[in-house]
Amino acid sequence: MLKTYKFPKFEYRPSPEQSGAVPNRHAVVVVGAGPIGLTAALEFASRGISAVVLDDNDTVSVGSRALAYAKRSLEVWDRLGCADRVVEKGVSWKVGKVFFRNELRYQFDLLPETDHKMPAMINLQQYYLEESLIEEIGRQPLVDVRWKHKVVGLKQANDHVVLSVETPDGEFSLTADWVVACDGANSDVREMVGAKFSGQAFQDRFLIADVVMKAGFPPERWFWFDPPFHRNQSALLHRQASDVWRIDFQLGQDADPDEERKPERVIPRIRAMLGDEHNFELEWVSIYQFACRRIDDFRYGRVLFAGDSAHQVSPFGGRGANTGVQDIDNLGWKLRLIIDGEAPIGLIDSYNEERGVAADDNLLNSTRSTDFITPKSATSRRYRDAVLELAANNEFARPLLNSGRLSRPTPYVNSSLNTPDEDVFDSRLAPGTNCEDAPIRRNAEEAWLLNQLGNGFVVLTFGVSPDLETIAHGLVKASILVVGRDIEDCRGILCARYDGRPGTTYLIRPDQYVAARWRQFDADNIRKALARAIRCCRG
């Protein structure tokens, strides 16, 4: 029982297909209704694909777990129609402070750049996030969430998968053209397909506590190395919604998890941190150890892995849930084109290619932060302390200080779907990078660029109006958006971010990533780049 939150209970409802009375082949079955499975269901629905979601439980995440959601995830949820609620409920923040012993050593601002629709980061308990996603799903006739449905078996055929599902009414089987496995770090589906999940496990134990308190601290991320209230270890304080605060304590390798989770151990630790003047109540306590590991391939035949089932990272940097959302962002449009026969099935292999690179990047960042925060030898600890001491008065040492590198989307720099630059640009939006938002005007109203991109490919071109409405390769169409005709760059921010000059043209994928860019609008080049972006070799 939490003090500020009552867990909803979602009803188990038997479906007619359980009795074998109706045919039961589905285009997509999503396993797991965590944040990633729920996002997947909304993603498929937004692209006109119906999805069945199976979850072995009947409520949201127990405990707050993931807490920090980054701008890119919010942009994805905005495309799916539910970012407003998440942002409104969450706590926006962008300043992080790092303390060494009891002195402030460094301070960072995540998004000094303004003029983005979405904030840099918001903090929100995972159960609130899941609730918002479930609420949105309630408005989507294409999504069918089935609680108390546990996947217990899986058989792959050439063009489909048969799942065995256990329910309170017994077992039944269900056929899917594609299965998206979002069943978390201990994924049963991963086991069933025989995938490898390897990497590094860390020995240090951490205490995570959510406490309820009315406190006047600003909404910032505070990280301590070796604080006076918790010598030789690290600590973290974050604000969440409803006056709930997240506190993390590093406990070291020898901590006894059963002892450490007892309130009589936890409360004095928190009191030492906050001081006697703050009254708080414990909301949720967990002791955990983490691992950094990934699956060997995101695709096994017709089964695709996303979220924690595909990769697990340390919590420093809030990468867990954020990177899972980006898996889905990458997967949705590809699967849509394949299901509708508009792209060859080979396009799906670019999912592993692109998200595999992102997983490696996340693991690397997360492992590096972990090595900084929990040094493994006396010497590496000395280097760490040297950085922390120097950081106070030496600007050069601050970039070396690593209290977690916060989640940012990994660009697909070398993706085979990109058409490499031939022209020179003064903009970081190279092929493989996600588009930056910018304020614009459309029909004389204030609006945002990302909201204009819709669900398909877009050709964004500056200044010159081509006499074309769309550009197509086979059945795949890219709509044309002209800056100066369809949208107005009222403040010059769009042109600055995209280095937009008359003729500058971007081909943008349905996940809002740049596929190609040129200094001239050339329909032939665009068609070729479009073919490449959907793996159609006859370009």
- State which amino acid sits at residue 22: V
Answer with the entry of ligand FAD, other proteins, none that 35 interacts with (C-beta below 5 to 8 A by kind): ligand FAD
Residues 6 or more apart from 26 whose CB is under 8 A from it? Answer: 50, 51, 52, 174, 175, 176, 177
d(CA 316, CA 311): 15
The sign of the torsion formed by the CA atoms of 351, 353, 357, 360 equals: positive
Closest by CA to 402, choosing from 428, 377, 374, 424, is: 374
Q: How far is the CB of 28 from ligand FAD (least distance, A)?
A: 15
Answer with the entry of ligand FAD, other proteins, none that 59 interacts with (C-beta below 5 to 8 A by kind): none
Sheet-wide strand order for 91-93: 68-70, 121-123, 91-93
Instruction: Candidates 183-191, 364-372, 381-389, 457-465: pick the segment binding other proteins (CB under 8 A).
Output: 381-389
Q: How far is the CB of 43 from other proteins (least distance, A)?
A: 40
Residue whose CB is less far from other proteins, 291 or 397: 397
Please state, as a whole number, how many other Cβ atoms lie within 10 Å of the Cβ of residue 253.
Answer: 10
Q: How far does Cα 371 stand from its chain's mean position? A: 23
- Both tokens assigned to 348: 């799906």
Instruction: Candidates 91-99, 267-275, 307-315, 457-465: pick the segment binding ligand FAD (CB under 6 A).
Output: 307-315
Instruction: Candidates 32-40, 269-277, 347-355, 388-396: pick the segment binding other proteins (CB under 8 A).
Output: 388-396
Choice from 9, 196, 262, 382 touching other proteins (CB under 8 A): 382
Q: Which residues face 505 on adjacent strands? A: 461, 518
CA distances from 397 to 40, 107, 373, 383, 391 (A): 41, 13, 16, 11, 5
383 binds other proteins (CB under 8 A): yes
Choice from 144, 220, 389, 486 touching other proteins (CB under 8 A): 389
Answer with the entry of other proteins, ligand FAD, none that 382 interacts with (C-beta below 5 to 8 A by kind): other proteins
Instruction: Candidates 103-111, 192-200, 396-404, 471-479: pick the segment binding other proteins (CB under 8 A).
Output: 396-404
DSSP 8-state code for residue 302: T
Strands (E), 214-253: 221-225, 234-239, 244-252
**Stretch (H or E) spanning 330:** helix 320-339
Please state, as a whole number, how many other Cβ atoms lie within 10 Å of the Cβ of residue 255.
Answer: 19
522 binds other proteins (CB under 8 A): no
376 binds other proteins (CB under 8 A): no
Instruction: Candidates 313-321, 338-346, 390-398, 401-409: pick the segment binding other proteins (CB under 8 A).
Output: 390-398
Size of the site for other proteins (CB under 8 A): 12
Which 3 state secondary structure label does DSSP give 73? helix
Residue whose CB is less far from other proteins, 394 or 414: 394
How many residues can be counted in the chain? 539
Mask: binding to ligand FAD, 254-293, rule CB under 6 A, as x and -? --------------------------------x-x-----
Instruction: Candidates 30-38, 250-258, 347-355, 520-528: pick the segment binding ligand FAD (CB under 6 A).
Output: 30-38
182 binds ligand FAD (CB under 6 A): yes
d(CA 460, CA 445): 19
Choice from 3, 85, 150, 368 touching ligand FAD (CB under 6 A): 150
Residue whose CB is less far from other proteins, 378 or 444: 378
Task: State the residue number with the nearest CB to ligand FAD.
Answer: 34
Residue whose CB is less far from ligand FAD, 407 or 479: 407
Q: How far is the CB of 171 from ligand FAD (least distance, A)?
A: 12
- State which amino acid sits at residue 453: L
371 binds other proteins (CB under 8 A): no
Answer with the entry of ligand FAD, other proteins, none that 130 interacts with (C-beta below 5 to 8 A by kind): none
396 binds other proteins (CB under 8 A): yes
260 binds other proteins (CB under 8 A): no
The sign of the torsion formed by the CA atoms of 55, 56, 58, 63 equals: negative
Q: Which residues face 441 on adjacent strands? A: 446, 488
Residue whose CB is less far from other proteins, 52 or 401: 401
95 binds other proteins (CB under 8 A): no
Residues 6 or more apart from 198 whose CB is under 8 A from it? Answer: 293, 294, 296
324 binds ligand FAD (CB under 6 A): yes
- Both tokens assigned to 410: 């990994």
d(CA 331, CA 418): 16
Residue whose CB is less far from ligand FAD, 241 or 471: 241
Choice from 5, 17, 32, 352 touching ligand FAD (CB under 6 A): 32
d(CA 446, CA 167): 50
Please state, as a whole number, how many other Cβ atoms lie within 10 Å of the Cβ of residue 477.
Answer: 15
**For binding to ligand FAD (CB under 6 A), which residues are involved?**
31-37, 54-57, 61, 65-67, 126, 150-151, 182-184, 188, 208, 286, 288, 307-308, 315, 318, 320-321, 324
Residues that bind other proteins (CB under 8 A): 379, 382-383, 385-387, 389-390, 394, 396-397, 400
